[in-house]
């Protein structure tokens, strides 16, 4: 079986616009939540989110080209470019037929859809931007990345709500294992902090409404958690066949050794501990390791009342007494929920934890919940041996994905 390693990372997040600043923010426990600046949210039940701070697309993409893309594609290109540069991929010499791209989103071009519908007046002659559809469709981010670099390998998007980019990582891993590519650029991007995004999730009663204290609103595993905080950004990883990476002298962050995929078959939005447990068991079986060999789990950990309790129940079902020996942390406590980009950004965090042998904290814990009694690494980072780590992602519709990373030595 061909081995798959991670040789490049990219991140565009509410607490840092590149990987070094993202990792620094995680270790310091920085909250990316604040009041919304992208539109007037005064009439919404939730008036805060985890926006990107100081991001100017023209620092990365020509202004005229950027106008042909939605924000989620801007974010994807920036994160992918950082990962590719970090991996040291030489575009001039690499076999571009053997390099593929899978870049995902849960919602895609929501800004573009809103703009076009605002300009449409029923009864008047229809006028739509010729880039309307190409800007909006979810697969277009992967298309733009492949066009920019000339990569002609497998190219598509996976869409499974909040598990979308975790599915992209799993697919990239499996494609390299199967010999269908030597290198895969995988990741996810989301740009949904607008009226439709906030209003839609408010209507579902999924978002925190802690408007008096946005910085502490994302409270995974806290008794008083009241919903997730919407975030935006992108994450990218360069996956590479081990021999290919070694021949070009690449730095290796970690190895992917397993992936699990499963469905809840339960409810479109309510979590299911059975499905979460099943996907972790499948991931462990794929990696051919026992539960006792796992040291760390980067959990889905959304800060929703049902979701956090359900994930805790699933971890106990899979790991038994060993569950209490694990370090667990929720990246969403700091960057919010990046929807379809969450899996990729949290995978970047997990890989960095394995590489640096350090678990980042879960912040904003104030009151213990008897249903959530594991070691969630509250408040402060912890240095510990991490041989194997899991990254969990669960999406609306009951889509579950789990990736297993191993320390590379």
Which positions are catalytic?
A: 162, 300, 337
Tokens 């006028």 locate to: 127
CA dist list (Å): 134 to 56, 144, 296:
22, 10, 40
Q: What are φ and ψ of residue 389, in 5° steps?
A: -135, 145
Asked if 227 and 207 touch (Cβ cutoff 8 Å), the reply is: yes
- How far apart, in whole angstroms, are the C-alpha atoms of residue 399 and residue 300? 12
Half-sphere exposure of 335 (CA within 13 A, CB side): 37
- How far apart, in whole angstroms, are the C-alpha atoms of residue 6 and residue 251? 9
Tokens 């924000």 locate to: 71
- How far apart, in whole angstroms, are the C-alpha atoms of residue 259 and residue 401? 7
Strands of 242-377, DSSP E? 254-263, 296-298, 327-329, 358-359
Strand 34-35 relative to strand 48-49, pairing: antiparallel
């Amino acid at each position: 079986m061909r081995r798959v390693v991670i040789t490049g990372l990219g991140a565009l997040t509410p607490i840092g616009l590149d990987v070094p600043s993202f990792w620094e923010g995680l270790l310091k426990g920085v909250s990316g939540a604040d009041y919304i600046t992208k539109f007037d949210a005064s009439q919404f039940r939730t008036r805060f989110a985890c926006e990107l701070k100081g991001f100017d697309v023209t620092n990365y993409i020509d202004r005229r080209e950027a106008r042909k893309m939605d924000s989620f594609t801007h974010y994807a290109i920036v994160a992918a470019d950082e990962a590719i540069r970090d991996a040291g991929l030489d575009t001039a010499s690499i076999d571009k037929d053997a390099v593929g791209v899978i870049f995902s989103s849960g919602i895609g071009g929501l800004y573009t859809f809103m703009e076009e519908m605002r300009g449409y007046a029923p009864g008047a002659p229809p006028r739509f931007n010729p880039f309307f559809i190409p800007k909006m469709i979810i697969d277009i981010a992967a298309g733009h990345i492949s066009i920019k670099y000339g990569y002609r390998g497998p190219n598509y998007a996976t869409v499974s709500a909040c598990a979308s980019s975790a599915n992209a990582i799993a697919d990239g891993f499996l494609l390299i294992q199967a010999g269908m590519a030597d290198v895969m650029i995988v990741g996810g991007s989301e740009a949904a902090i607008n009226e439709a995004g906030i209003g839609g999730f408010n209507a579902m009663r999924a978002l925190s409404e802690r408007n008096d204290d946005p910085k502490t609103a994302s409270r995974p595993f806290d008794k008083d958690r009241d919903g997730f905080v919407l975030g935006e950004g992108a994450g990218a990883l360069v996956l590479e066949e081990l021999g290919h990476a070694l021949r070009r002298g690449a730095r290796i962050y970690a190895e992917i050794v397993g992936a699990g995929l499963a469905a809840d078959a339960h409810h479109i939005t309510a979590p299911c501990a059975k499905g979460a447990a099943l996907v972790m068991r499948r991931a462990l079986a794929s990696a051919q390791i026992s539960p006792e060999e796992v040291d760390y789990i980067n959990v889905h950990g959304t800060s929703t009342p049902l979701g956090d309790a359900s994930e805790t129940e699933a971890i106990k079902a899979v790991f038994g007494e060993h569950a209490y020996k694990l370090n667990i942390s929720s990246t969403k406590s700091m960057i919010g929920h990046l929807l379809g980009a969450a899996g990729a950004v949290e995978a970047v965090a997990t890989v960095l934890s394995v590489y640096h042998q350090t678990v980042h904290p879960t912040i904003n814990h104030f009151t213990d919940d008897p249903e959530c009694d594991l070691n969630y690494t509250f408040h402060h980072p912890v240095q510990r041996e991490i041989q194997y780590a899991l990254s969990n992602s669960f999406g609306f519709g009951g889509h579950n994905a789990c990736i297993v990373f191993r320390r590379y030595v």
